[in-house]
Structure 1
């Protein structure tokens, strides 16, 4: 009974003792204060019991600080977690790999320069292509950053033109000096151990390859299918402003009929505006988060984006007359590319291209090379189709006389005989090929005989050795 009273009095004294507290006290601190108060009450009761039993206070155990130390560490960890959550972390965009031969990584770095609010156009020697080729990416307002050594640099060309010509000349000289300095910093601004300081990307890395006509046409069809899926937003053909040497009708005739087959609708009617955009490298835009963007096209080389709805006439009557025009006058698929894009820039497309003859012209943008690949594939397909029809032509030759000269009608007109002409041309081509093959084989046999004679002479002119003398005698004796 007395023990219970003493505990109750000690508890009252602990509750009545002043304790500093604030309204912004954390849960960890409140929990720690309550635990410490309970621990003090138990320790006071223990001391009173030892005095009552006559034990000396020197042998009394000391207050254990395990709980208080644990609570302190808990509060410290909570504060650290909160501070880590509120402290902004440095964001490191892009890959940190050194890959001077990776075209995809170069395009990713170039994509960081496309926002006009972050990067304004610069002279050719210090434009975004030169920075991206040396591993730099745009980090913010006129700021570049190396993704490997994390060195940052502000690129700012300030040009202030005065009222006098001398002031303008001075500003131009200052800008030229800054261009020279930044052209040097593209390489020297890296850390001393950064690999981008030693070697950058090659100039030909942006170039599009058309070595395989079949692969180029397959890529064209993929772009065409993506644009056909955005047909409600594709501009009309009269909304497009195509170059004069772009003959869209010829391209439609040169492509195979299977190219325009639509699996969903089952039709093979060409979508001419979609084909025109695909020929210039445009395709549907796909966002990594929301998926396909229905009203936007993009170029995967220069990362340029096009809002298709801006170029399509809003209202057109039955006769094709524009009632409500589009926000933009027309769409030029070539001009909308960025300046360094090989679909537009002939110099960027011709870099690193090896010419096989002096007469071959390679100073062409990528879309012209694509047209040439389509033409080559069409010519090759027609040759194969002609060879496939050759047996029927030969059969027709036995039933008729195609070598006879076509007779003229009484009226003096000419009677066209297309099938006969084609079969004759095919037979002449085959005969010419056979004659050329025979001529080549004859030349090869002649060269082979000359080499054999020369080899025999060289063997016969050698001095006789002991083994050769014995072999000759054995041959003669035999």
Structure 2
């Protein structure tokens, strides 16, 4: 029995070493710490089961330990790489092997500079010219719209720049500077009493295109002529925009001028409101107070209400004109009328003329409606009233003909007759009696029916002629 005991211990020791070597060679994903723990446990086990001291172990066990150590080191490096590559990215951090590069957590993607089709970017460029401290009135050929259409923005005093593009700059100087009492030139001023030189205006008109660098895309192409167009053709969209502008005045209703202190083109708002009743709903009820009527009138002519630094303003989202409503208060107008010795009528707020000259709400050329449609040569305010407010109901048959004739407009569930014809009838009505008006209106409707059904009548005649020809051939 005493001779077999060493053999049993040796066998057990070899068995455990074999298990350790197999585990070390097959485990490729375990961490270095785990491998170290397994090596420690196997070593302690060998101490317990082997009567020999550690320095008496055979050479095979030493080779196995060295192999385990090399495998553990390589596995540790592999696992470290896996940890870096497989760790989820945190917001604003880019993981790189061995380091972390921290970027801005919410950096928006920069919009490309050259987008001649984008009205949003065009309007953002026009807005930079709205500050009277940076840009003064220029002739139509070189006004802010022409510069913005070619990618220019207002940078400093009467200076434009191609921001985000070729970065070229052009200083537009048409007039000499004003002089003070001592004869010194006043900085950032212009003597508008001097007429601008026509040749100088032509030179700057060429600079709108040639001022860009040779390789700048804005030099090759600008925005389309109708980029300023306000899309009013959709009845649903136009109604929603109108009600949004109308509601924007509710927070500043106390500062709105009186209805008699504002002026605008005909028709009167009292005539418009009954015809606009279908635009309102339970969420946006129709005007029920004098201030509501004023707010709706302002909205019809393209104005929105804002409050900045406790100052109530009426603003335009297309020409970016800003009107201080306190200037049109009844107290202020009476005070200025007495001080200037002018009638109060000349001081009232004109809702149309207060827009800038190039604004599509006022300028039919900027609005650029379809030249072959019923809204041709109409500025935006007339177009809006034509689409939303100025129609009379007609019979279903006439509605179908009118819908075919006006292809570019969404007239909603009911097709109605244009406001322009009614306005013309109203103007003539001041001179003629009611009977003649009715006769003219009947003639207009008859002519409209003939015009819209002309194509269908041709098709009916062709079908009838084909049938008659076919019958004659059969008889022959």
TM-score by length of 2: 0.53
Q: 1:241 aligns with which of 260, 263, 267?
A: 263
Determine helix, strand or coil for the equivalent of 1:230: helix
Does residue 1:342 correspond to 2:397, yes or no? no
Residues 310 and 326 in structure 1, CA contact (< 8 A), matched pair in contact too? no
**Residues 1-44 of structure 1: per-residue CA shift (max 9 Å, x gap):** xxxxxxxxxxxxxxxxxxxxxxxxxxxxxxxxxxxxxxxxxxxx
Q: How does 1:363-378 map to 2 (within 5 A)?
A: 363-375=377-389, 378=391
1:128 correspondence with 2:144: yes
Asked whether the 8 Å contact 1:261–1:269 carries over to 2, the reply is: no
Assess, with a 3 A threshold, how the Cα gap between structure 1 residues 326 and 448 changes in structure 2: closer, same or farther: farther
Deviation at 1:336, TM superposition (A): 0.9
1: CA distance between counterparts of 2:359 and 2:264? 17
Structure 2 CA distance, aligned partners of 1:373 and 1:326?
A: 42
Unaligned runs of 5+ in 1: 1-93, 162-170, 317-321, 388-428, 458-478
Alignment partner, residue 167 of structure 2: 150
Of 379, 388, 391, the residue aligned with 2:392 is 379
Deviates more, 1:328-337 or 1:116-125: 328-337
Task: State the Cα distance separating 1:451 from its structure 2 match.
Answer: 9.2
**SS at 1:246's partner residue?**
coil
1:267 to 1:362, Cα distance in 2 relative to 1, 3 A: closer
Shift of the 450–241 alpha-carbon distance from structure 1 to 2, 3 Å rule, reads same
Q: Which residue in 1 is equivalent to 2:225? A: 203
Give 1:266 shift: 9.8
Equivalent of 1:111 in 113, 124, 127: 127
Matching residue of 1:191: 213
Say if 2:296 is the partner of 1:296. Answer: no
Measured in 1, the distance between the counterparts of 2:457 and 2:129 equals 60
**CA separation in 1, counterparts of 2:336 and 2:210?**
55
* Residue 276 (structure 2) pairs with residue 255 (structure 1): yes
The within-5 A match list for 1:158-237 is 158-159=175-176, 175-237=197-259
> Distance in 2 between the 1:235 and 1:326 partners?
19
Considering only aligned residues, what root-mean-square deviation do their CA atoms show, in Å? Answer: 4.3
Question: How far is 1:228 from its partner?
Answer: 2.8
> How far off its partner does 1:346 sit?
2.2
**1:43-101 CA distance string (max 9 Å, x none):** xxxxxxxxxxxxxxxxxxxxxxxxxxxxxxxxxxxxxxxxxxxxxxxxxxx95521111
1:311 to 311, 319, 328: 328
SS at match of 1:372: helix
Q: Could you tell me which residue of structure 2 aligns to residue 45 of structure 1?
A: none
- Aligned equivalents of 1:297 and 1:175: distance in 2? 35
Match of 2:351 among 318, 328, 333: 333
Contact 2:125 2:148 in 1 (8 A): yes
Contact 1:224 1:275 in 2 (8 A): yes
Q: 1:110 to 1:447 in 2, by over 3 A?
A: farther
Q: TM-score, normalised by structure 1?
A: 0.52
The corresponding residue for 1:17 is none
Offset at 1:280? Answer: 0.7
1:273 aligns with 2:301: no
Partner SS state of residue 204, structure 1: coil
Q: Report the Cα distance in structure 1 between the residues aligned to 2:128 and 2:459, rounded to whole angstroms.
A: 60
Change (3 A) 1:209 1:361: closer
Aligned residues: 293
User: Which one of the candidate residues 84, 93, 99 is aligned to 2:115?
Assistant: 99
After superposition, the Cα gap between the structure-2 partners of 1:326 and 1:134, relative to the gap in structure 1 and judged at 3 Å, is farther
Give CA deviations for 1:114-143 in whole Å, capped at 9, x if unaligned.
111211111111111111110000000111
For the 8 Å contact 1:109–1:137, the answer to whether it is kept is yes
Query: Gapped runs of 5+ residues in structure 2?
Result: 1-109, 179-193, 400-445
